[in-house]
Structure 1
Amino acid sequence: MSYIATTDDLFFNKTDLDQKRLEGIVNNALSGADDGELYLEYRQSEGMVFDDGRLKNASFDTSQGFGLRTIAGESAGYAHASDLSEEAILRAANTVQAVHSGHSGTMASSPQGTNRALYTEDNPLSACAFETKIKVLSDIDAYARGKDSRVVQVSASISGEWQAVQIIRADEHRVADIRPLVRLNISVTVAEGDKMESGSYGGGGRFVYDSLLDPDYWQKGTDEAIRRALVNLSAIPAPAGEMQVLLGPGWPGILLHEAVGHGLEGDFNRKKTSTFSDRIGERVASPGVTVVDDGTISDRRGSISVDDEGTPSQCTTLIKDGILVGYMQDRQNARLMGQDSTGNGRRQSYAHIPMPRMTNTIMQNGAHDPKEMLKSVKNGIYAVNFGGGQVDITSGKFVFSCTEAYMVKDGVVGEAVKGATLIGNGPEAMQKISKVGNDMEMDDGIGTCGKNGQGVPVGVGQPTLLLDQITVGGTS
């Protein structure tokens, strides 16, 4: 891999920084600490929004900077700046040393292993002309309006970034990564009489723009946005009460991510603020339920060759056949809990401290045929897509809104409903899963996870799931 060479060019050859002098500064800054690192970052990003037949907004940004962290016990000091100079890093070193003043720790060993080629290192921003991107957005607008006379508003956007990072530790161990990321969003509004409804579609991942700009891709995406809008146009108010809920594959895994995934992050469990704290070895889900966090899937939005502490990503089993077997860990929380990092130490940028975060959180396949699962639903709803939700990590309670759902009676999908919400408790909901399908799908590549004011790209995946007796909040 040429990651080190590429990032050396950005951070040393094009600046006044000297690698050996910088390694000496890091060694001195972390002397006596338990752990820490210097994180260097260079990022290019762009975004274009085409709204109602015209280019509404276009932006391009370049940023760079560093973050220097030192750890002593449960305490951490962090200093960052957008100035990539030796003077700025020396000031940061003097600042963070105060955290471990008088502390006589033993520096933790550097992560073992190297990064792997999970995605291209090509820069999507320079691999495709600006005019090409704008033309595709214009074509999406025209295609949507020509597809159905009820389409009254179209908005399409493209965004991309190219991030280069290098992590330097006290033993001069260096790790680098090059991370591309692209996304296409399409939103349409349809009207019929005095009713108006919207539908959207989005997709992306860690690759260049080519696949997103292919007409076969964006036309299917536009068709899907229109279909969802028309479904909402004909939807009836959702019922309320306890009932069976059939969750579709793919993006509905966002419920798993929020209601269960966050509760399995190491910091919440070390501090014993998670409903899953001290429950390793206990049953927390129905038999047949296996959940992993896998940062090693090629080209996926949530994948990372190495995390933001330099640990190679991995596939971590969290729940196996319903039994809790592990947590997602960064280096600090893993050390304090007597465990190993799982490669889940992530940060939004150089201006943020790393913490345990999900990558691609997936429920693995079960043994059931989704068609047979549907036939077993006597009275419930089939939830295909989700919007936003709220989760309390301590109690596990969640509320999620369905953006596409249907009534199911005696195994037959009926009318679309709107205004449906799923209300429950994460661990309890996991134990109400009665059947797990064999049709696992990943989401289309649109997820961004927020935690403590930081957002990072993530992925979710799951097969069709049948949950018995979940509370559905509705408007009918």
Structure 2
Amino acid sequence: MQSLLSQFDVSEESIRKLVADTVHGCDDGELYLQQSQNESLLFDDGKLKTANFATDRGFGLRSVIGETSGYAHSGELTKAALARASEAVSTVKTGREGKPAEGPRPTNQRLYDDVNPIDAPDFAAKAKLLTEIDAHLRARDARVRQVTVSMAASWSHIEILRADGQHLTDVRPLVRLNVSVVVGDGDHQETGSAGAGGRKGFGEFLADGKWQETAEEALRQALVNLAAAPAPAGTFDVVLGSGWPGVMLHEAVGHGLEGDFNRKKTSAFAGLLGQQVAAKGVTVVDDGTISERRGSLSIDDEGTPTNRNVLIEDGKLVAYMQDRQNARLMGMDATGNGRRESYAHRPMPRMTNTFMTAGEHTPEEIISSVKNGIYSVSFGGGQVDITSGKFVFGCTEAYLIEDGKVTRPIKGAMLIGNGPDAMKRITMIGNDSALDTGIGMCGKAGQWVPVGVGQPHLRMNAVTVGGTQA
């Protein structure tokens, strides 16, 4: 594969010298190059509504001194653009001398192939598949009124050049399928949705039978919601399902464990290393090394190999997620969590695949232990305040638990609480820890990156539930 450095209108030797001169005297910095392709198709109302294909390439040049960083980017791989970027980011040095920090230690880990998922199957085959999914769902149940299906694929080739000449590269495929179904009975309509994805080619992904599995799950959820009654409000013991409900852990706890928030002391977890921040038995991990998972990376966007980072162990806070800048300022090691949306963005500490590890109880044991409670199987949107830890999450599939048994489906349930407090309300941890199906996207400071979330079944005592039933 052709190096991105060779696509400049200047020699590689000249690029290396300019980067070295730019970063000389700084604590850190690098040239980040990216070439990407993106394709998306949307099928709605019985026809292909939109189809998009885009390519992009460019670079970002960064210099870092203490808490300050200079950053410039361009979509032109030219000597002139690189020179302008160097002039801009060099202003943070003001005559300072010294060598930048040692670069990351590379490994040979490869967590996914460099296949381009846009190449196969071809566009016509993808459009035909969307039609087949629509027809399949409409034939499954006469109550299906609307089907929306989308497919998205991307391929990104990134390279990182450091001042010492270290040159790192990664090629990242990513696919995603989403299905949404509206079902109705008279004037009453409800929606269900499901999705799946990962870092692999579309051909391999679809061969796993994912589209049938995803379509059936969306229909099942929609029919459950069609039969659901308004959710009660009050304080209840709550059981959370495995997999995707880990999005609450991601939002309510995960962001609070990112290094920048803790360095600036704006996180509810700031200054609590070594202290008990969750119930005994709770272990939370961020792991970017799981093969072909949506949030995985062979290297992060600073070139640091990703790791399996234990953040909370048996309820105690033991580590934060770090990029290079915040790790250096906090006297810690970079953990492989420096991520950026694209070459036009600076890196910052971000999650990869964040989940709670398994406990010892079966899901059946957990549910049967609850006399009067709520069983939340899936979440939709939520809101979290990183500083206070307060959160609100809406359930997209939930049920009542009565006398230890799952009974009626309910709709409109909202879980309300505080992240650190919620972690201490966990009383039972399931033995079925699982990651989500590959649909997570995480936003922070205007940047979006793909992530994974997960957990086992959990019991949380005395959680505030907002509902629609008085």
Indicate yes or no: 2:457 matched with 1:464.
yes
Change in 2 beyond 3 A, CA 1:142/1:214: farther
Cα deviation, 1:51-74, whole Å, max 9, x if unaligned, reads 122110001000000000000111
Indicate yes or no: 2:209 matched with 1:222.
no
- Mapped to 2, the partners of 1:106 and 1:256 lie a distance apart of 40
Q: How does 1:439-458 map to 2 (within 5 A)?
A: 439-458=432-451
Q: TM-score, normalised by structure 2?
A: 0.98
Change in 2 beyond 3 A, CA 1:217/1:138: same
Cα deviation, 1:107-153, whole Å, max 9, x if unaligned, reads 10000122511001011111321111111101001001100000011
Tell me the amino acid that sits aligned with residue 188 of structure 2: K
| Match of residue 16 from structure 2 | 23
Deviation at 1:157, TM superposition (A): 0.8
Cα deviation, 1:430-465, whole Å, max 9, x if unaligned, reads 000001000011100000000000000000111000
| Match of residue 419 from structure 1 | 412
- Mapped to 2, the partners of 1:344 and 1:216 lie a distance apart of 32
Specify the SS of the correspondent of 1:153: strand
Check conservation: 1:136, 1:213, Cα contact below 8 A.
no
Specify the SS of the correspondent of 1:112: coil
Deviation at 1:354, TM superposition (A): 0.4
Indicate yes or no: 2:69 matched with 1:76.
yes
Q: TM-score, normalised by structure 1?
A: 0.97
Task: State the 4+ residue runs in structure 1 displaced beyond 4 angstroms.
Answer: none
- Mapped to 2, the partners of 1:88 and 1:14 lie a distance apart of 13
Choose from 170, 173, 178 the match for 1:180.
173
Specify the SS of the correspondent of 1:127: coil
Deviation at 1:224, TM superposition (A): 1.0
Specify the SS of the correspondent of 1:46: strand
Indicate yes or no: 2:132 matched with 1:139.
yes
| Match of residue 251 from structure 2 | 258
Choose from 305, 314, 317 the match for 2:307.
314
- Mapped to 2, the partners of 1:408 and 1:17 lie a distance apart of 67
Choose from 78, 81, 88 the match for 1:85.
78
- Mapped to 1, the partners of 2:460 and 2:60 lie a distance apart of 44
Cα deviation, 1:89-123, whole Å, max 9, x if unaligned, reads 11100110001113334410000122511001011
Choose from 9, 23, 33 the match for 1:40.
33
Choose from 233, 255, 270 the match for 2:263.
270
- Mapped to 1, the partners of 2:323 and 2:193 lie a distance apart of 35
Change in 2 beyond 3 A, CA 1:358/1:215: closer
- Mapped to 1, the partners of 2:369 and 2:188 lie a distance apart of 34
Choose from 339, 355, 366 the match for 2:359.
366
Choose from 264, 273, 277 the match for 1:280.
273
Deviation at 1:10, TM superposition (A): 4.5
Question: How many correspondences in the alignment?
Answer: 469
Task: Quote the sequence identity (%).
Answer: 57
Deviation at 1:16, TM superposition (A): 2.3
| Match of residue 106 from structure 2 | 113
Change in 2 beyond 3 A, CA 1:100/1:70: same
Check conservation: 2:60, 2:71, Cα contact below 8 A.
yes
Tell me the amino acid that sits aligned with residue 16 of structure 2: E
| Match of residue 144 from structure 2 | 151
Choose from 155, 158, 161 the match for 2:154.
161
| Match of residue 422 from structure 2 | 429
Unaligned runs of 5+ in 2: none
Unaligned runs of 5+ in 1: 1-5
- Mapped to 1, the partners of 2:455 and 2:227 lie a distance apart of 28
